[in-house]
Structure 1
Amino acid sequence: MQKKPFATKEQLEAIAAQFPTPFHLYDEAGIRRNVEAMRDAFSWNPGFREYFAVKATPNPFLINILREYGCGCDCATGVELMLADACGAHGHDLMFSSNETPAADYALADELGAIINLDDITHIDFLEQTIGHIPDTISCRYNPGGLFEISNGIMDNPGDAKYGMTTEQLFEAFRILKSKGAKNFGIHAFLCSNTVTNDYYPELAKVLFNLAVRLQEETGAHIAFINLSGGVGIPYSPDQEPNDIRVIGEGVRRVYEEVLVPAGMGDVAIYTELGRFMMGPYGCLITRAIHEKHIYKEYIGVDACAANLMRPAIYGAYHHITVAGKEDWPCDHIYDVVGGLCENNDKFAIDRALPRIDRGDLLVIHDTGAHGHSMGYNYNGKLRSAEVLLREDGSAQLIRRAETPADYFATLDCFPEYEQLVKRK
């Protein structure tokens, strides 16, 4: 099976003539269709809000598309808060979900009026000492421990994760926070990553909704919102069936009416913090084949590397590859598609069946719209690539320029020969 790129070979060659490869390309039309579907799927809940996980794709041009639809921003660091603030997200448009948090980041979150989501019970005192008070609205992250298994067999291990509070700690945290003046409470949990199933959110919701009823009954805290966080994934492999967000939203609605409404909690808002689902399929890495090598295996060398997309190198993650213009050719060649880092794990594909690839061919590496460019780095002096937005009208807009050697050397301004470095072409 194949995935179809959202741009034709002719479009890609025209963009590459303007912005040299490698670059990340994003599909505005696809992003808009997806956020509209997300909004419609949870329209039954008047307080619903998607807080886009900024870490997934921290580009203001893309964030502002989501902001047009009322999305907030989920931030994990002070710099992400600064970026979201620059996009016009202020106050409760911001959700600050962090861990091992520096005091300065908590101070900035408070200054911007963000909803702070505490990762640990000890952070209550740390936050109060840092900002001098406990906010009226506060959230706590929950970790139930053990294994979390979905009915269709997908399993993850929250008990091995560094995030969140135990059940006992969560109840105690609510009591402490309430005694310190907090008035509105949220519950947050992330128990499975990249689930390709419509069951995850409804089953997580049932756990959190039942927990919320107990918390309100036993602590007297007013539960204002429940944050289902992320975890709704995308089909990286073409043989996977994509999630249907409308089915997911309806599943959460049924559990809401089964658990929360009878408990008199029908005013609880539902929040989500999706990154991968919101952006992943609507970005791709465009790279050009520049070398071929015939030794014990057949290799195609491209001008991108793990510094542009590190998921295959660090996770062994699958990303589908299309050879532009050869979509209908037989996949009768077996290649390792590799980058130029001095590391043997710098491989986008291993033993992958692909059409014959010639030097100069453009390769589309799919599903890089989340955790793609954002995880880039500068090992081997590799420079981060440009980001380009394919607009709805077919035009291409540069939304982040490619790095230059001057960017790489910019933090060496304490080096005596700094000027010599930045002036070299």
Structure 2
Amino acid sequence: MTLQNSDYKSPWKRFAVNISMVILLFISSLFTGIYLNHQKTIEKELTSRAQALFNSLVIARKWNALHGGVYVEKVPGMQSNPYLENPDITASNGKTYTKKNPALMTREISEIADREGAFQFHITSLKPLNPNNIPDPFELQALLSFSQGKTEAIGKEKIGEATYYRYMAPLFVEKPCLTCHAGQGYQLGDVRGGISVRFNINDMMRAQMLHRLLLGLLFTGTLISFMGIVHRLVGALKRKLVAAENLIREMTITDDLTKLKNRRFLHDRLKEELERTTRYRHPLACIFFDADHFKMVNDSYGHEAGDAVLKTISATAQEQCRQTDTLGRYGGEEFLMLLPETNLEQACALAERLRQAIEGQVSIADQHHIRITATFGVACYSPETTADQPSLSDFIKQADTAMLEAKKAGRNRVGIAS
């Protein structure tokens, strides 16, 4: 009797699905963490870059403001700052110099950086003097957030095929700023405006896309590899458990000493055969046999000798069995053989052959050569001649009674149930 795979199909399927879900969750969490950490690193790097640009410009502006502005030689084509009072001066050598305040310096640096394709600066405020400093939508939202206490604003925007990183931080009113902006009602420490930084991040976006692609391929490969390994491990575990279950089942229906089927199995099999015999109207016979004078063997030679005798009888009986017959140890020195589709005459002939085979055997135990015989009882049930199907216990009792009658008649012979 073996355990069918279908017995395990449903629980093993659930087990495999549960393990797969755990692995999927674990690997997904792992790669999601890697992806998010990479994204966080990129965002941090972009912010650090923008902050460095902003701080560099703030330092340059502060230097300019500390000196009250910087005068440069006014060359042909250079426009003076129209928002400053008396921005130009004439030196003793006759040359004209114009004043570059922090705001104008910031705009001109931004124009140079833009031409170089590196980055862009834009100084702006909610109350700009210069129309060129009017805030765009991102800058307007940032300025409003600064008035509520926020210290920086970050965003991305797409212009045509290019993607830009936007950063903006506030500018606070300091003492040098009041020279130009006191008239606008600003006081020390007020948010006067801000500087926004913008730079192209197309290369970074392409690198991120490649990273996502590689991470996706790695995730897929890792998941497939893990699933393959788990499938093999689960398959191996399943085979071992099925084999162990089959072994346990076999042990529960097998006699430990003779390795024949035990009484439990014989009862189950006889019940099946009786029903099948009645259904298909084929004869069924059974042979009940018992070792003669077995107690004397145990008393004279010991239980090990008795075990050797039982093994010899078992091996001899198995040699006489047909493929369709079932042989088992019924208990103690008693044995039962079930013979499907066998009539009484055929069963008696088999019992006689078996009796002669056992009589001719010698069991060797502790250097003792022991000969033993067995007595047999044969019973047969044929639906063609018997109206009612006998019960399991009655059928065995018929063969047992026939064996007991044969023992009374002198042992080592075959008795037939009436």
Give the TM-score of the pair, scaled to structure 2: 0.19
Which protein has the bigger helix share?
A: 2
TM-score (norm 1): 0.19
* Bigger Cα Rg: 2
Higher RCO by CA contacts (8 Å cutoff, separation 6 or greater): 1
